[in-house]
Chains A and B, each alone.
Chain A
């Protein structure tokens, strides 16, 4: 199961179309998502940074504080420039820019993370 944490419904539709071959669950804020991770550990998390509620970084921080979530791969997909973000520190698999990525790159990143 892929958890997608994204508060813009326009993007949700986009993910549903591009990643239609994958089982996904959508969360519109990080608090909901973290609560759901209590019930089920996702195979992959696709995470936006500017969210309604805690930022994506706060979600990542919270995730990494739980041993069972520490190794879950995370792909950040955001329109914020985060080249200085502590990606390695948090074990982020890939960072994709919403303005520059292509659907093929997104699919490739998901396939790579799920390997």
Chain B
């Protein structure tokens, strides 16, 4: 579908398009302030501009991190996945609300830490959530879960949107993610967010994957358990 619109599978074009979306919306929202009479309405526009801009900034940061991955600048350390997920929720709740979506949490792992890079894990969860927000329905909330899976900790984000085509599911399962369009799995998607998540998961020796449900998809990352326990 993307190639039909863009004419060529150029990752650069996709990245540009992905960034143009939130930047265009921020600009239009700023211009629309002239049309708002109430202070509360203007304040809401201000919040929406901030949330939309933060999303674009996060994408820029992630792209910068991808460029620096080969230099191995991201140290692995014991990380509490609950704290990371809480940070993502507090960063995204407003954007979810503007999109009439809900994000919930279900932490079944209470104390165990994972071996990861905190920044990269944050980006992985953030991109899973953004994907869930874009493709989930309005009826059911997206859900972040943390639980033990065999000898690892799984963090997954479940949405209730259109399920992923088999071809794309196989590509992710087999680790054939070479460029964003490989996982532009759902209509209107460039695949960039999940591409970023796959790259970061791979860097942290985590397993990136998805589970298809009849009514949606769960994207997950499995990470090795740290020998340390959280004191929190």
Contacts and interface: CB of A to CB of B under 8 A. Distances in A.
B172 to A, nearest CB: 19
Interface residues of B, number: 33
* Chain A to chain B: the 3 pairs with minimum beta-carbon distance, closest first: A9-B99, A98-B24, A99-B24
Interface stretch (A32-40, A52-60, A63-71, A87-95): A52-60
Given A9-B99, A52-B186, 19 more contacts: A8-B21, A10-B25, A10-B29, A11-B25, A13-B48, A13-B98, A14-B29, A17-B41, A51-B187, A55-B1, A80-B6, A80-B17, A82-B5, A98-B20, A98-B25, A102-B31, A103-B28, A103-B32, A103-B35
B123 interface: no
Interface in B4-21: 4-7, 17, 20-21
9 contacts: A7-B188, A9-B98, A10-B48, A11-B25, A18-B35, A50-B5, A50-B188, A51-B187, A84-B7
Contacts, number: 76
Interface of B: 1, 4-7, 17, 20-21, 23-25, 27-29, 31-32, 34-36, 41, 45, 48, 52, 98-101, 134-135, 162, 186-188
Given A9-B99, A50-B5, A99 B187 contact: no
- Say whether chain A's binding surface is mostly helix, strand, loop, or mixed: loop
A79 to B, nearest CB: 5
